[in-house]
Amino acid sequence: MHDRYSQRWGKKRFSWTLRVRLWDRDYLTTLVQQFPNIGYKYFSDEARALSKSRKGYEELYQENTLLAERLAKTNAELEEEKNRRIRAERDAVWKDISFAAAHKIGNPIFAIETDLNPLEKRVNEDRKDEALKVISNIRAAVEKAKTIVEQFKSLAKAQQVNPVPTLLQPIIEDCCRILETNKVECRVDCPKGLKILGDPDRLSEVFDELATNALHWLNRSKKKVSVSAAVAEGSSLPAALDSKRKYVLIHFRDNGPGVSFDNKTRIFDAFFSTYDQGTGLGLALARRIVEGHDGTILETGVPGKGADFEIYLPVAEEPNE
């Protein structure tokens, strides 16, 4: 009997069928309404008590509360760690800036000290004309020291801004007047009604500095500067900006020698300068003011074809927006 059973079993053919059913909420609701015993079996308090894998509302609520508390604690710890790192980085930056400032101010003070003895000698010998020349040198050194001190003070309070809805075009046009006075052709392309959320006085410092910086490097017979502004596309915003906000992109271009690739980020560091008479504080001040407006500034020009400063500033949203 065993052999025949095996033989008959061996001749029988089997076929496998795989069925997949997608149960959505409507289907489940209809199913429970048609067969109440299913609802009792799977959703009653007794069923949940018998099943180790199912949890009651109170238990789920307690777990959710505990997880929320842990998440809040973790976020607070991460925020505190972030603040500690920011403070440490800020302290390190200001330590470097203070050292560089002492060095920069030390140069004109040393020049004044060096000229004091020759001045005293010329005064005692009644060599008036020569004494006046030494006095002129001392005065120049004093003015340079004063400039460094004033820029250092401005750098310290650069991010203290009072942003209000501000028309951009008048600020740009004021900066162009400085250029035109120095025989630089300045072209402005900015919508008249374009408003940014900014501090007009502090932003004027930024564009005045960009104009002054351009004047230092414009060495061609035909000196040109162009300034354009338009609302930036959200997909092209730098990573440092908030992608949920709208920004105005301003291009400040000149036809000077441009900035080398190695210096494109360094030019915004305090006391870094490739200009012999520069203090190295102007562009650092401009960057801090722009960042104080929750914006950013970059230099993206092609070396040898002129500088191109890109400034991103937040758009002043209308009340209904």
236, pLDDT greater than 60: yes
- Phi, psi for 102 (deg, rounded to 5): -60, -40
| Better-scored residue on pLDDT, 55 or 306 | 306
142, pLDDT greater than 50: yes
Contact (CB, 8 A) for 147 and 180: no
Which pLDDT does position 3 carry in this prediction?
Answer: 46
Q: What is the pLDDT of residues 170-195, one digit of tens each?
A: 999 998 988 988 889 999 999 999 99
11, pLDDT greater than 60: no
Which range, of 40-49, 55-64, 253-262, 273-282, averages the lowest pLDDT? 40-49
Taking residues 212-235, report their average pLDDT.
88
Which pLDDT does position 12 carry in this prediction?
Answer: 54
6, pLDDT greater than 50: no
Which range, of 65-74, 160-169, 269-278, averages the lowest pLDDT? 269-278
Half-sphere exposure of 115 (CA within 13 A, CB side): 19
Which pLDDT does position 300 carry in this prediction?
Answer: 93
Domain spans, the chain: 76-156, 164-314
Three-point CA angle 163, 164, 166, nearest 5°: 115
Nearest partner of 151 among 9, 285, 3, 31, judged by Cα? 285
CATH number of the 164-314 domain: 3.30.565.10
136, pLDDT greater than 50: yes
Nearest partner of 105 among 65, 72, 148, judged by Cα? 148
Taking residues 232-249, report their average pLDDT.
87
Which pLDDT does position 5 carry in this prediction?
Answer: 44
Residue 161: band (very low, low, confident or very high) from pLDDT cuts 50, 70, 90: confident
94, pLDDT greater than 70: no
Residue 139: band (very low, low, confident or very high) from pLDDT cuts 50, 70, 90: confident
Q: Which residue, chain included where needed, has tokens 């401005």?
A: 154
What mean pLDDT, rounded, does the chain reach? Answer: 80
Which pLDDT does position 135 carry in this prediction?
Answer: 87
Which range, of 6-10, 33-37, 206-210, 270-274, averages the lowest pLDDT? 6-10
Contact (CB, 8 A) for 185 and 225: yes
Q: What is the pLDDT of residues 241-263, one digit of tens each?
A: 888 899 999 999 999 999 999 89
3-state secondary structure of 239: coil
